[in-house]
A and B are shown apart, each in its own frame.
Chain A
Amino acid sequence: MPISLAARNVSHRFGNTVALDDVSIDIPAGRATALVGESGSGKTTLLRCFNRLVEPERGQVMVGDEDVRSQSPVSLRRGIGYVQQHGGLLPHWRVLRNVALVPTLQHMPDSTDAALHALELVGLPSAQFGSRFPHELSGGQRQRVALARSIAARPGVILLDEPFGALDAISRAELQESFDNLRRDLTVTTLLVTHDLAEAGRLAEEVVVMRKGRIEQRGSMRDLIHAPATDYVARLIGRARAGLEALRA
């Protein structure tokens, strides 16, 4: 069951640096939303508020109908999928055991079956890959394993923090495609952090542009292109477009 996410008037500082400045956002269940912005825009901080890796100084953060503070971080996180830029696979565990981590933490009786199924879903046949160690895989394969690990326990929401940021262009395109299919099949709420506007447009139904801890604009990619709310958004679109045209020429 997909779960909605919400942040209400959330503010947070790291030392004297403002990371989030009174941010409010609703992410409907089952939708894919991308947080876009430059480094330091606050997009990763906002993402990490939802699984309590960041505890904001002010405001309320909701997962489903509940305030995140109503349950312990550990049990909250077990219900939320998470993928980070450098997959963060446990290097000394074989692929299958890595994928079975969250089902095991949840004491699911069929945790191995769940892991096998998740591996199939991300396109890595377990017979071939299940008993390998992470360092025996390519970068793209490792991110697929990380993806499998995040969905193995069938969470209602997945948080992805630059999941494809460290990959070469070809693996990246392949993985984007698989992920897009996957999340539609699973009907899971996804929140994706990326600095790549094209990736955001490709994978998300709604794009949220962030800058200096605030939301500049949110809407579909089409809205952003045709009606940029601020100069900053317009510049961002312009730069992405220039990149594309340079590629065509």
Chain B
Amino acid sequence: MNATQRRARMRATQRIGALMIATTMTGGIMPAALAAQREDRPVVVASKPFGESYLLAEMFSQLLESRGFKVDRKPGLGATEIAFGALRTDAIDAYPEYTGTGLIAILHDTLPDSVAADPRAVFAHVARRFADLYHVRWLPPLGFQNTYAIAVTRSTASRYHLRTLSDLAREGSHLTAGFTADFIGRNDGLVGLSRVYGLKPRAVRPLAPAVKYQALASGAVDVIDGYSTDGLLARYDLVTLIDDKHFFPPYEAAALVSNRLDREAPGAVAALALLSGRLDERTMRQLNRRVEVDGEDVKKVASDELAALGLTGTPPERGSVQGAPSGQQQSGFLRYLWDRRATIWALTVRHLELVAFALLAAVIIAVPLGLALERTRRIAEPTIGGLGVLQTIPSIALLAFMIPLLGVGVAPALVALWLYALYPIARGTYTGVRDADPDAVAAAEALGTTPTQRLLWVRLPLAAPVIMAGIRTAAVITVGAATLAAFIGAGGLGEPIVAGLALADTRMILSGALPAAVLALAVDGVLAIVERLVAPAHRRKRFWRTRTEGLDRAVTPAV
């Protein structure tokens, strides 16, 4: 038993212990009330930030709702670490995952080739290990695989006679690759591909998932990594190269469900299991195409398919449904914004709330901290330097760290934004107060002011504009950073941005990005006015003078 396993086993023991205590206590005191509460808690269904994950999560949600369960949707959670971290700590209850990802990205297991090639064996292995280590359950696979698909254009394929990944490795020196950053770094990505096939492209460009298909189509790159069920593979008429050495493990899609749901709502788990084995690869590719290429609404596509599978209501007529959204797509962008104004407004308000609370908390901590550091200058630079280091933690990593402590939703987002806002405010306060007019400070000291009087009468008023500038910087940064809150299910204007990137929907991206930009400008503008109001009296003077002078002239009759 290795260290990780031991730790996990210990954690499991602790958790079981805690559970037993909790059950005994609550069971003894108020079982009825608790049971009612359990039923009240909605099933939290999440997804990762790409189209297929959104669609599957939406199908899970509608299926549960059709069976009478309340559902709380948290789509687009950051990445594997965030989504799985949330599930493991019961912050969410279900999300779609892939066995290969579970095997390599979460378990970090290597299997003998004979086992790795067999989807059933891989599923069995992953399901058993997840149950042992995390008490998390894989429902039986949905019925399709979504593996990495290394794709080239038809013309590239015929020009270099490419059919398999071995062919690609042979011609690698002529070709430029455009891979997602994730794929470049993963063992089941480029690293392993180079080892097994000897693939060495002429150059490797890291590309965002949303742009790689356009990059390939425009000839900027020659080969990309996609997912085998991507709707865009068909749209761009791409050739998927055959994995002739069986390098990629099977990526069978399945619902992962939390320990809590398994325990407290077996009915919900049973409902989700209804989808097992019902979606084949062809179906999935069609559904993805409707979302990613035709721009159909995810909700609509999900409900159509559930109905077609006979799991909910009656199947709608396909033609009429497909007609509507394509017509909608032709209408103008402003129209689109107008139609979604209520949603955008709600997201903007949420965004502003996140920014306001995080900023307020940062001001409450960082301004007094900056003032205190001015009195204890020896530790000032190391302390502020420490806050600066926080800035360098990638936001996704910071959010992932916080899930075990705070779960998903507003709380971890607020804490992350708060941490990012501390540095500019503390730095501005400390520098401003330290460098406030040295002659005036020295004279005030020589004439018998106390340190507190110097702070309140001299340093603070003179430093006010510098402190405000720090707060302004923090505010604008926070407005931008708050879009990342969507990765952790806290809402805000990041939600349409993340969803739009996942669904390759530019209008959706803009419907979040534009209000966010306007919000940043507005916040900056408002704080600029505040900055003027808190400026020390002698600097404020010109502003007031001109106004009062104008007033004087207006009311004083000429003599």
Residues of A in contact with B (beta carbons under 8 Å apart): 51, 53, 73-79, 82, 84, 86-94, 101-102, 105, 133-135, 146, 149-150, 159
Contacts and interface: CB of A to CB of B under 8 A. Distances in A.
Interface string B447-477: 1111001000110011000000000000000
Contact of B538 (A73, A84, A135, A150): A135
A78 B448 contact: yes
A92 B448 contact: no
A92 B445 contact: no
A84 B442 contact: yes
B155 to A, nearest CB: 72
A93 B457 CA distance: 9
Given A84-B443, A92-B537, 5 more contacts: A53-B446, A90-B437, A92-B539, A133-B538, A159-B446
Contacts of A105: 447-449, 453
A89 B259 CA distance: 69
A20 to B, nearest CB: 19
B541 A74 contact: no
Contacts of A102: 447-448
Contacts of B538: 91-92, 133-135
A89 B537 contact: no
Given A133-B537, A133-B538, A135-B538, A88 B443 contact: yes
Contacts of A73: 448
A91 B464 CA distance: 13
12 contacts: A75-B448, A78-B448, A79-B448, A84-B439, A84-B443, A84-B446, A89-B440, A101-B449, A102-B448, A105-B453, A146-B443, A149-B447
Contacts of B448: 73-79, 102, 105
A87 B441 CA distance: 11
Interface in B414-459: 437, 439-450, 453, 457-458
Contacts of B536: 91-92
A146 B445 CA distance: 14
Closest 8 CB pairs of A and B: A88-B443, A78-B448, A77-B448, A92-B536, A133-B538, A88-B439, A82-B446, A92-B537
Contacts of A51: 446
B504 to A, nearest CB: 56
Give the size range of B's interface with the partner. Answer: 20 to 34
A245 to B, nearest CB: 36
A206 B450 CA distance: 34
B552 to A, nearest CB: 15
Contacts of B445: 53, 77
Contacts of A53: 445-446
B446 to A, nearest CB: 4
Interface in B172-212: none
B439 A74 contact: no
B533 to A, nearest CB: 14
A53 B444 CA distance: 12
Given A133-B538, A133-B541, A91 B437 contact: yes
A84 to B, nearest CB: 6
A88 B449 contact: no
Given A74-B450, A133-B537, A89 B443 contact: yes
A86 B438 CA distance: 10
B467 to A, nearest CB: 14
B537 A77 contact: no
Contacts of A78: 447-448
Contacts of A159: 446
Nearest to B462: A92
B447 A91 contact: no
B432 to A, nearest CB: 14
A204 to B, nearest CB: 21
A134 B447 CA distance: 18
A93 B456 CA distance: 13
B447 A90 contact: no
A92 B447 contact: no
A86 B537 contact: no
Contacts of A90: 437, 440, 443-444, 457-458
B442 A91 contact: no
Nearest to B444: A90
A51 B449 CA distance: 13
B353 to A, nearest CB: 35
Which of B437, B450, B462, B538 is packed against the most chain A CB atoms within 10 Å?
A: B538
Contacts of B442: 84, 88
A198 B437 CA distance: 31
Contacts of A79: 448
A157 to B, nearest CB: 13
A189 to B, nearest CB: 17
A82 B447 contact: yes
A71 to B, nearest CB: 11
Given A102-B448, A133-B537, A133-B538, A91 B462 contact: yes
Nearest to A89: B440
Contacts of B447: 77-78, 82, 101-102, 105, 149-150
A74 B443 contact: no
A144 to B, nearest CB: 15
Nearest to A48: B446
Nearest to A81: B447
B381 to A, nearest CB: 21
Interface string B126-153: 0000000000000000000000000000
B20 to A, nearest CB: 63
B440 A82 contact: no
Nearest to B535: A92
A146 B442 CA distance: 13
A154 to B, nearest CB: 14
Contact of B444 (A76, A88, A133): A88
Contacts of B440: 88-91
A214 to B, nearest CB: 25
A84 B439 CA distance: 8
A77 B446 CA distance: 6
Nearest to A159: B446
A134 B461 CA distance: 16
Nearest to B536: A92
Contacts of A93: 537
Contacts of A133: 537-538, 541
A90 B440 CA distance: 5
Contacts of A88: 439-444, 446
A58 B41 CA distance: 75
Most buried by B among A90, A135, A150, A159: A90
From A77, A78, A87, A91, name the one whose CB has the most chain B CB atoms within 10 angstroms.
A91
Contacts of A91: 437, 440, 462, 536, 538
Interface in B235-292: none
